[in-house]
Chains A and B, each alone.
Chain A
Amino acid sequence: MPQLDFATFVPQLAWLTIVFVVLYVLMSRIALPRIATVLEGRRERIAGDLDKAAQSKAQTDAAIAAYEKALAEARAKAHTIAQATRDKLASETEAKRVAIEAQLNEKIAKAEAAIKATKETALANVRTVAVDVAGAIVSQLLGEDADKAATERAVDAALKG
Chain B
Amino acid sequence: MSAAEAVHGAAAAVHGAAPSGGLAIDPMHQFHISTIYPLHIGGFDVSFTNSAMWMVIVAAAISLLTIAGMGKRSLVPGRWQSVAELSYEFVSNMLRDNVGDAGKRFFPFVFTLFMFVLFCNMGGMLPYSFTVTSHIIVTFGLAMFIFLGVTVLGFAVHGLHFFHFFVPKGVPAALLPLLVVIEVISYLTRPISLSVRLFANMMAGHTMLKVFAGFVIAMGWAGGFLPLAFMVAFTGLEILVAFLQAYVFAILTCIYLNDALHMH
Give the interface of A toward B (CB within 8 A). 1-5, 7-17, 19-20, 22-24, 26-28, 30-32, 34-39, 41-42, 45
Contact = CB atoms under 8 A, between A and B. Distances in A.
Contact of B111 (A3, A32, A38, A45): A32
B66 A15 contact: no
Contacts of B108: 24, 27-28, 32
Contacts of A12: 33, 49, 51-52, 135, 137-138, 141
Contact of A3 (B46, B55, B134): B134
Contacts of A7: 1, 45
A15 B62 contact: no
Contacts of A35: 66, 70, 84-85, 88
B142 interface: yes
B63 A26 contact: yes
B249 interface: no
Interface in B80-126: 81, 84-85, 88-89, 107-109, 111-112, 115-116
B44 A39 contact: no
Contacts of B51: 8, 11-12, 15
23 contacts: A3-B203, A7-B45, A8-B137, A9-B137, A10-B46, A11-B35, A11-B48, A12-B49, A12-B51, A14-B44, A15-B56, A19-B56, A24-B109, A24-B112, A27-B62, A27-B111, A28-B108, A28-B109, A31-B63, A31-B70, A32-B107, A35-B66, A38-B77
List the 6 shortest-distance A-B pairs measured between CB atoms, nearest first: A28-B108, A15-B52, A31-B66, A19-B55, A8-B33, A14-B46
B33 A41 contact: no
A42 B74 CA distance: 9
Interface string B1-25: 1000000000000000000000000
A32 B48 CA distance: 29
Q: Which of B31, B51, B89, B108 has the most CB of A within 10 A?
A: B108
Contacts of B142: 16, 20
B70 A42 contact: no
Given A5-B1, A34-B73, A38-B85, A15 B137 contact: no
A32 B105 CA distance: 12
A39 B88 contact: yes
Given A7-B1, A35-B85, A23 B47 contact: no
Contacts of B58: 19
B128 to A, nearest CB: 16
A35 B63 CA distance: 12
Contacts of B84: 31, 35
A4 B33 CA distance: 11
B263 interface: no
Q: Which of B33, B107, B136 has the most CB of A within 10 A?
A: B33
Contacts of A38: 70, 73-74, 77, 81, 85
Contacts of B48: 11, 15
Given A11-B52, A13-B137, A36 B112 contact: no
Given A11-B39, A14-B46, A28-B112, 13 more contacts: A3-B199, A3-B203, A8-B51, A12-B141, A17-B141, A20-B116, A23-B62, A26-B63, A28-B109, A30-B67, A31-B84, A32-B108, A35-B88
Given A3-B203, A24-B112, A37 B137 contact: no
Contacts of B47: 11
Contacts of B107: 32
A42 B44 contact: no
